[in-house]
Amino acid sequence: QVQLVESGGGSAQAGGSLRLRCAASGSTPINYCMAWFRQAPGKEREGVAAIYTRSNVPYLADSVRGRFTISRDNVLNTMNLEMNNLKPEDTAMYYCAAGRTYCSATSWPGDGGMDYWGKGTPVTISS
């Protein structure tokens, strides 16, 4: 089993920045995809960003590309999401997920490819 714990959520004003972190522990695979999803009230869950163990071009949703940056530390088994130029529409619960699957800018497994999920951290952006 893999445990995922998110941190760093909170409130910010539009145009501001926040950093989310996900820490993985337990029986983490050697190579696996780590991803961020979000779900706003009344909306479907949306994939935001994903990054694989080995260096490649990470996946970023069109809605966040150019504003969000994803990174990971394979030694510490952590993943960060740097969120800049935040918008009110970024308000959502953000979930960390991991899956024994490949992911990249051109290979997005979606939530069906994730095996483990964190409990989420809330992000609220005010205008």
Tokens 């069906």: give the residue. Answer: 112
Residue 114 CB neighbours (<10 A):
24
CB 22 within 8 A of CB 34: yes
Walk along the chain (127 residues) and give the pLDDT tens digit of each residue.
999 999 999 999 999 999 999 999 999 888 999 999 999 999 999 999 999 998 789 999 999 999 999 999 999 999 999 999 999 999 999 999 999 999 999 999 999 999 999 999 999 999 9
Q: Which two tokens stand for residue 19?
A: 């950093």
CA 72 remoteness from chain centre? 10
